[in-house]
Amino acid sequence: MSPGSVVQIVREMFMTALWVSAPLLLIGFTAAIVMSLIQIVTSIQDSAFSAIPRLIVFLGALLLLMPWMLSRMMTYAIGIFGDLGRYAR
């Protein structure tokens, strides 16, 4: 296995991880900004007021995006295991 192919495998791994995690991170970031703005406008400084809605939004997004995330990860895994003979050389 050449160093170039190892670099390509690692690059694909990192890109898959980025694309799988990016939607959840963006949704979590957006929910945090919205909750912070609501706290600023209403002058509520309770930590549970911001944590619970963010958790609910994050878990809802996780449930909605899970089929897509699993599809992306399975596509990557099938691509790696499908060419396993090529990597063994």
Domains: count for the chain: 1
pLDDT > 90 fraction of the chain, expressed in percent and rounded = 57
Q: Is the pLDDT of residue 53 over 90?
A: no
- How many whole angstroms from its chain centre is CA 68? 11
Compute CA distances 64 → 27, 28, 37, 44, 73, whole Å.
12, 14, 25, 30, 16
Contact 29, 47 (CB under 8 A): no
Residue 10 is part of which domain span? Answer: 3-88
Q: Using one digit for the tens of pLDDT, what is the confidence trace for 10-45?
A: 999 999 999 999 999 999 999 999 998 988 898 888
The answer to whether the Cα torsion of 74, 77, 81, 86 is positive or negative is positive
Angle between helical axes of 3-42 and 47-82 (0-180°, round to 10): 160
Q: How confident is the model at residue 86 (pLDDT cuts 50, 70, 90)?
A: confident
